[in-house]
Amino acid sequence: MTDAATPRRGRFITLEGGEGAGKSTQIAALCAWLAQRGITAVRTREPGGAPGAEEIRRLLVTGEPGKWDAITEALLMNAARRDHVVRTIRPALERGDWVVCDRFYDSTLVYQGVAGGVPMATLRSLIDMAVEDTRPDLTLILDIDPATGLSRAGARAGERTGGNDPAAETRFERKGAPFHAKVAQGFRALAADEPERCALIDATGSVETVAQAILSAVSARLSLG
Ligand code: TMP
């Protein structure tokens, strides 16, 4: 029950996973399904999701894979995250809207932590500073074999052009197979470590099968009323 003293806060759902797991398609389906139930959902993404954060995104996702070291990436990701939380996510939740976000701090723990080698305690303190108490109610982790995901994501196109298009958002895709194997393993470990918040979704099936698994997880774990 809500009253004037305890305003209703919207729910915050994040989608995570390696490259080419199909997050964008699934986020569109989830937002459409929520809209059919009368729920307004703000669709957003990281890095990005606010004008300043989108400027930082461009620095992060373009250029050579070695352009930033993992600690610099973590600092930039969390600078962008702070802007996104303050300007977009928190106001939406306070209005009572739901927020569906393509990646959030779990991507930092996995990409810069598990795969990039930055200590978890360092990352957690940066994340705490960026998000304070704005944390996901539910995290859907789309699990896919990294080679399949990378080919879906079009990494091969980036390789064909030699990564020479300065605007191509392929910097992380081009970090190499061992990096992406660690990313996949990191997301699975995270799902096992935090089963109450995280649902691991097999993303290898058809779009419809994966969408059904996502809707089941959302219905089972969050009250839609
Ligand atoms: P996208 O391709 O899903 O839009 O995300 C851009 C890339 O940024 C993706 O390869 C994952 C990476 N990333 C991190 O390394 N750390 C983070 O904290 C976030 C949010 C994304």
Q: Is the CB of 61 under 6 A from ligand 1?
A: yes
- Partnered with residue 139 across adjacent β-strands are 14, 198
Q: Is the CB of 110 under 6 A from ligand 1?
A: no
CATH 3.40.30.10 fits 12-221, yes or no: no
CA atoms within 13 A on the CB side of 182: 16
Q: How far is the CA of 100 from the centre of ligand 1 (A)?
A: 16
Give the per-residue pLDDT at 2.
46
**Residue in the structure block whose two tokens are 């797991």:** 21
pLDDT digits (tens, 9 = 90+) for 11-68: 999 999 999 999 999 999 999 999 999 999 999 999 999 999 999 999 999 999 999 9
Q: Is the CB of 68 under 6 A from ligand 1?
A: no
Give the per-residue pLDDT at 93.
98
Question: The whole model's pTM is what?
Answer: 0.94
Q: Is the CB of 187 under 6 A from ligand 1?
A: no
**Residue in the structure block whose two tokens are 């809500």:** 2
**pLDDT at position 3 over 80:** no
pLDDT digits (tens, 9 = 90+) for 142-201: 999 999 999 988 755 555 555 578 889 999 999 999 999 999 999 999 999 999 999 999
